[in-house]
Structure 1
């Protein structure tokens, strides 16, 4: 639209003269376009200001998160959990999840390395003499690593999810899932030390220390299971007796353990046959 500068009437954009007073409007459009450009420039400036404000807010949040991390550091969280496992701590929501994942990776890494080293020592396999056999051997242990991680991950998830579900069954109110995970991990945080010891022993001499490593691994698993059961009983405003919550938790864990066994049974047997089958072939042919 064009606006007549003389009488103020508005015309269509393609009109060259005012239909009311006859004023020449051929140069008016350029002035309106300039106003539009100025308006767009102002809008762009406002948009840039908003973006800068959002960036500053994001930076402030990150800075605040770093400061909070310094106050409630992961190390202090570990120290308190080792001294007083049931202490009421407030840590970052990711503490528990990250701790569990790191423990899983360390345990599997050390265990698979130790088993591989022990098999080589027991059987006397020399994989360097046969490239094809070496590739098959490494592939089997790569699959074993994935299977072992899957098994431990499912069992760990079963503990956390089963305990959380049982807690919700018993109590009227339940904390957020990540906060609840932190509580379970806090109760069993001595596992961080146990897993480190198991990993080191696996690298040193898995074959000679297999009994100690197995006992420590069993202890870590039982401690995590117990932490899940204890967390069920730590609630407020119970609707039902916590004993029934523990029973539900146990049933869930039995189901999860059964599923894990069914999934991994055939794979482990197949991998064992592959290892020793290849070893027999290598023994007779080379």
Structure 2
């Protein structure tokens, strides 16, 4: 026999209501079940988060000692890299465009003798979205190309997520570099020479680490149908083509925006 939580009377097993006070017993069971599920889900999320953090720290310490992990850890890492990079670009471009708009308005006012109407900064959250999607999708496409090349020139049978985990593990230091770029974008006031040099160095390191990471995947294959140097060359060329196409799309996307901005200032 169970007890009614409201009045303490004995109730039958599976009863929906207490026959003494009319308390709805089934609700108590549902609430307890819901709380149990929520606790389990929270514990699971904490466990996965801790596992991911341990995996990420391990990848920073030993990039080429790839460890087994949850199948989505690689994609999560690539997404974090893209988020940091896109935020950095958005903040830096917004500051540069803001300075340009302010100076152009001042020059126009000086020569015309009239106070020009203020032009709002056109750089907003849409820039973050564009650069995040461009960076993240380009990474996914490159990994897909590597997988196709692997299957075409070797007997590799791994799947996309496993390959993404390996590439992300070997290139995870890009997360740290993009974090540095993000912090720099927050504290820098204008595009000084030192700022440009730092950005160039960070972007150069990111590019180098990424290329080393994707090429190492090829060179670690046990056997290929042609020499590994040529397989690596195919992947490198494909990688550069993807980067070029991505850059072309982004530039064309903002060409009209830049033209409109200049026309407003002139």
TM-score by length of 1: 0.65
Shift, 1:239, TM fit: 4.2
Does the CA-based 8 Å contact 1:202-1:213 persist in structure 2? no
Task: Please tell me whether residue 210 in structure 1 is matched to residue 172 in structure 2.
Answer: no
Distance across 2 between alignment mates of 1:242 and 1:178: 23
Between the two proteins, the alignment pairs up a number of residues equal to: 218
Distance across 2 between alignment mates of 1:64 and 1:174: 34
Q: CA-to-partner distance for each residue in 1:47-97, whole Å, 9 max, x for gaps?
A: xxxxxxxx9xx99x9699669637x71122122211211113011111110
Gaps of 5+ in 2: 1-33, 106-115
1:87 alignment counterpart: 65
2:177 alignment counterpart: 194
Q: CA-to-partner distance for each residue in 1:167-216, whole Å, 9 max, x for gaps?
A: 22232123221111011011111111101100000111152312212320
Task: Please tell me whether residue 183 in structure 1 is matched to residue 160 in structure 2.
Answer: no
1:114 alignment counterpart: 92
Distance across 2 between alignment mates of 1:176 and 1:62: 28
1:10 alignment counterpart: none
Shift, 1:99, TM fit: 1.1
Task: Please tell me whether residue 275 in structure 1 is matched to residue 231 in structure 2.
Answer: no
Gaps of 5+ in 1: 1-54, 281-286
Question: Mean Cα displacement is larger for which, 226-235 or 89-98?
Answer: 226-235
Q: CA-to-partner distance for each residue in 1:188-247, whole Å, 9 max, x for gaps?
A: 111111011000001111523122123202321331122111112223454443223212
Max Rg structure: 1
Does the CA-based 8 Å contact 1:77-1:91 persist in structure 2? yes
Distance across 2 between alignment mates of 1:100 and 1:192: 8
Shift, 1:151, TM fit: 3.0
TM-score by length of 2: 0.69
Task: Please tell me whether residue 147 in structure 1 is matched to residue 130 in structure 2.
Answer: yes
Question: Mean Cα displacement is larger for which, 109-118 or 236-245?
Answer: 236-245
Question: Which residues of 2 match residues 126-141 of structure 1 at below 5 A?
Answer: 133-134=119-120, 137-138=121-122, 140-141=123-124
Distance across 2 between alignment mates of 1:215 and 1:103: 17
Distance across 1 between alignment mates of 2:43 and 2:148: 33
2:252 alignment counterpart: 266
Distance across 1 between alignment mates of 2:80 and 2:162: 18
